[in-house]
Chains A and B, each alone.
Chain A
Amino acid sequence: MKFIKSISIVMLAAVGMSFTTAAELDLLIRNATVHTATADAVTPLKNTDVLVQSGRITAIGKNLQAPAGVRTVDAAGRAVTPGIFGGLSRVGLEEIGLERTTGDHSHRLGQMRPEFDVTMAFNPESMSLGIHRSNGVTFTVLTPGSVSGGSLVAGLGAPTSLDGTLPGSNRAMFIDIGGDANDLSGGSRAAQFMLLRQAVVEARAPNLVMVHDERLLTPSGRQVLLDYLRGAGPIVFDVDRAVDIRRTLDLIKEEKIRGVIRGGAEAWRVAKDIAAAGVPVIIDPLDNLPDSFDALGARLTNAARLRAAGVNVAFSMRSPGVYEAGKVRQAAGNAVTHGLPWHDGLAAITRIPAEIFGVADRFGSIAVGRPADLVLWSGDPLDVTSLPQLVVANGKLQSLESRHSALRDRYFERLKNGTAR
C-alpha cells in the first residue's frame, strides 16, 4: 500500500475548508482547460482562467487578475466543466429503495393525477445530495414514476440544484408508454394512447358535462394537463419501441406539445423522424441488451446515431435508483467510446438536459453572467479514472466530504490500526 502525497488535493481540501461557510463565492480558477459546453463549444479553452465573484461567473479569459481578497486556485491545466447532470432521478425523493416509508417518488392512487407534483416530497437533506455533489453532480430532475397501482401519467417533476435548495418554478410532466405500462392501461398499449387522448379531450373541454364515473381527471388534473398542452413545460414520454416512438411523435405533433422522448432504446431506428420533429431524446447509452420486447434493437451506438441524425441527446440512467445519478458521467464516456463526439458527450450531461427542462440559464454551461456551477476534475471529465477536486454548485463551493467519506475515514483508521473487525 502506497500513500500518495498529493499537494493539489490537500490544497483544494484546504480551500474547501475555508469557503464552506462563505455565503457568496469569490474564486479565480487559473490555468484550466475550460469546457464551457455552450452550443458553439467544440474544442476546449486551454490555459484559461475563470473568475467567480459573489457566486457568478464574471470573466473567462487568459491571465485574469484576481481582485483583492479573491482566492486563487491553480488548475495546472486540468479540466473544468459545468456541473454534471444526475439524470431523471429520485435523489431526495427516496432514501432507501426497498423501504416504502422513505420513498415518495410515485403515487399508487389508482387514478390519473397529472397534478401529482413529486417535488413536494423532495428532501434536500437526504445524505445522497452530498455524495452526488462530491462526485461532481450538481443538478438533477426530480422524476415521478409510474408504478403498479399508479397511473401511466406519472405526474410532475422538476429540475433542481443539489446544493440543498428547493426546486424553482420549472416543472415537467412524465408519461409512460409501452409494455411495462400495460398493467396501468388495462393490459394494452393501445389503451395508453386511448386514455391519453381521452384525457386531452377532458382537459381541452373543461366544461364538458360528464357524470363522475366517466371522468379520468379531477378538476385540478384537467387544469394542469391543459397548461402542459399549452406549453407550460415539457411532457416527457418514456417510450422505447421504434413504432411507439413514431406514434408518440404523432401525438406530440397533433397536440402541439413540448414533447421529449426518454428511454428510447430503439430511437436510433427512427432517428430521422425524431430529428424532423425537433424532439430531444434522453437515453441511457448503456442500454444494449434486449431487456424487453420493446427494446430488441437496443445498442451501444444509439447516442452516436441519434446525434449524427441531428437529434439533441441527453443522458440519464434507465434505472431511477438514487445511486444511479452518479453513473451518468460514466455512461457519457461509454457513448463517446462508441462513436459520439466528445463535446456531444459532455453536452448530453450538461447543457442539453438544462435546455430541455428550461434551466439553461442556471445549469449546464460556463458563461459570463451565469451562476457558477462547475467542477474542476483530476483528469478527463468523462473518464471513470477522474474525480472532482473542486465543486461549485449554484454559486457555492461544495465540500468534498459526505456520509460516504465519513464512513471511509472511520474505517480506514481502523484498518491502519489493524482493528477493522
Chain B
Amino acid sequence: MLNQILKHPLRLVTVVTAFTALTACATTDAGTRSVNTTKAPLASPATINATAYPSTYAPPTVAPLLIRGATILTGTGARLEETDLLIREGKIVAIGRALEAPAEAVVIDARGKWVTPGIIDVHSHLGVYASPGVDAHSDGNEATAPATPQVWAEHSIWPQDPGFEAALEAGVTTLHVLPGSANLFGGRSVTVKNVPSTTYQGMKFPDAPHGLKMACGENPKRVYGNRRTLPSTRMGNVAGWRAQWIEAQEYMREQQNYERRSAAAEKNPALRPPKRDLRLETLAGVLRGEINIQHHCYRADEMAIVLDMAKEFGYKVTAFHHATEAYKISNLLAENNVCAAVWADWWGFKMESYDAIPENMVLVDAAPGGCAIVHSDSSEGIQRLNQEAAKGMAYAERMGVAIAPEHAIKWLTSNAAKALSVDSRTGSIETGKMADVVIWSGNPFSVYALAETVLIDGVTRFERSARHATPQSDFLLGQPAAMEVLP
C-alpha cells in the first residue's frame, strides 16, 4: 500500500481530512474520492482539493503545420532523413515522406534542417531565482527549517523572469522548476510549459505530477550546522530524512484509521479527522507514489544510502540530480531504475563535486538500462543543453564510445520526460504526442546550431527570423539600457 505506484499518477487519491453531511462527492474535481456519510456529525464541509492551483494553460488554436524534408531525431532512438512532420490541433498527427498538406496548413521547408522534440530541463530555478538576481528575487530556498515539504516552488515563480524567453530561444519547451537545496526536503517542484504568461498557472503543465526536492550532502549540513541545529553532519542528514518519513507514516496511519472508522459509519460524536498538515501531505503523496522524488545528491556512497532509505520507507527515487559521482555506481542506478540528471563539465566547486568527470553522462548511459539526463541548474546552462550533451558525446568519443545524435537527444528529451512522468505526452516525436518541436539550423550537437523555430503544443512560440521587437518579459520592457538606441 505504501509504495503503491499509481498507474495514473494524475488521478490523485484525495485524502479526506473532514467530511460533510452533504455528499462531498458532489465535488466536480475529477478523480476526487470522498466519503459519503450522511450521518456525519461535523457541519463544515472540508475535503482536500486535489486540483488546487490548477493549470490555466490552454494553447490557442492555430492552423495545421507541415514541416517538410527535415532530419528528424525522434527522441525514441531513431533518425529519420528527409522526413515530413504534420502537426494539427497541438498534436503530432503524421510522420513520413511526401505527406499531403491539409488545405489550410502552413508549410515549412525544413530541408537541410534538423528537427527534435522540444528540450526538457528537469532542473531549473527560473522564476524562483529570477534575473535580475537581487535580494528580493531570492525565492528558491525556504531556508528557515531543514524540512519544508509544505512549500511549493510554483508559489515562488515570477513569470516575468527574462530567463524563460532566453531558454525558449534555445529550444526549451518544458522545464521543471525546483526549490533550492538548502533543505533536506526543499518543497514541491513543478513542471511548466515555457510559454509567456502573466501567472504561473498559465504555464503549469496540465496534470503533471509534482516532484519533491530533497538534498544530500554539504548544503543542508552547512546551512543548519552553522546554526547549531540538526543536520550538521551527513548522519544528521539521514536522521533528519528518516524522522520526517516516520512522521509521514504515522500521519497516513491516522488517516487510514479515521477513514476506516468513518466509513464504518460509527456513531461517534468524538470522531475527528486528523488535522490537515501540508508538510506531511506532501510526504504522504510521495509514499503513495503520487509525487516524484527529485533528489539532489553528488556522492556515490550517499546515493546508495538514499536508495536504501527509499526501500526502508517504500518509495521510489525518480532521479538523482547533479549526481556527479553517478558514474561510480552506474550499474546500481540502472538496476534501481533511477535516472541521473547531470552536467557536462562542472567540477571542483565543492568537495562533493571534486570527483566529477565529463564522462559521467556517457558512463551512466552505457550501463545496461541506464538513464542519463542532461540538466542545467543554471539560467545560462539551460540555453545550451544541446551543447552540454555534445560535450558529453565528445568525451565519449575520446574514450572510444560512439554516441549517435539520435541516441544523445534522449538525454535532453525523452529521458527527461520520463523523470517528470510526462513521457506519455511529450519528449518524443511520435504520433499523438504534444507537438513540442524544435527546428534547428543544423545538427543540434554543435556550438553553431541555433533553434530557428520552437513549437509548443503546435503553436509557434519562437521564430528566429521574426524575433520579438520587444521583450516578452515586462521587466525588460521600456528599459533604456536594453534598447537598441545607444546612449
Contact = CB atoms under 8 A, between A and B. Distances in A.
B50 interface: no
B338 to A, nearest CB: 12
A241 B481 CA distance: 9
Contacts of A96: 348-351, 354
A195 interface: no
A358 to B, nearest CB: 29
A290 to B, nearest CB: 5
B476 interface: yes
A213 B132 CA distance: 38
Contacts of A334: 384, 387, 447
A419 B330 CA distance: 9
A166 B275 CA distance: 67
Interface in A70-109: 95-99
Interface string A377-421: 010001111110000000000000000100110011011001111
Contacts of B486: 269-270
Contacts, number: 172
B447 A269 contact: no
Given A321-B348, A323-B349, A420-B332, A387 B394 contact: yes
Interface stretch (B29-37, B257-265, B398-406): B398-406
Given A96-B351, A97-B348, A269-B487, A382 B447 contact: yes
A98 B446 CA distance: 32
Given A385-B393, A415-B363, A420-B329, A323 B347 contact: yes
B359 interface: yes
Contact of A420 (B331, B349, B476): B331
A333 interface: yes
Interface stretch (A110-118, A184-192, A204-212, A291-299): A291-299
A420 to B, nearest CB: 4
Contacts of B218: 98
B359 A412 contact: yes
B133 interface: yes
A155 interface: no
B346 interface: yes
Contacts of B446: 383-385
A242 interface: yes
Nearest to A293: B132
B17 interface: no
Contact of A418 (B166, B331, B394): B331
Nearest to B392: A384
A384 B388 CA distance: 8
Contacts of B305: none
B349 to A, nearest CB: 4
Contact of A99 (B332, B345, B351): B351
B380 A286 contact: yes
Interface stretch (A3-11, A40-48, A219-227): A3-11
A266 B481 contact: yes
A300 B486 CA distance: 16
Interface string B372-394: 00000001100110010011011
Interface in B382-426: 383-384, 387, 390-391, 393-395, 397-402
28 contacts: A2-B401, A3-B401, A3-B402, A4-B402, A96-B350, A269-B487, A270-B487, A286-B383, A289-B379, A289-B380, A290-B476, A290-B479, A296-B476, A296-B479, A321-B348, A321-B349, A322-B348, A323-B347, A323-B348, A334-B387, A337-B450, A383-B446, A383-B448, A385-B390, A385-B447, A407-B357, A411-B328, A421-B304
Closest 4 CB pairs of A and B: A333-B447, A97-B349, A296-B481, A421-B332
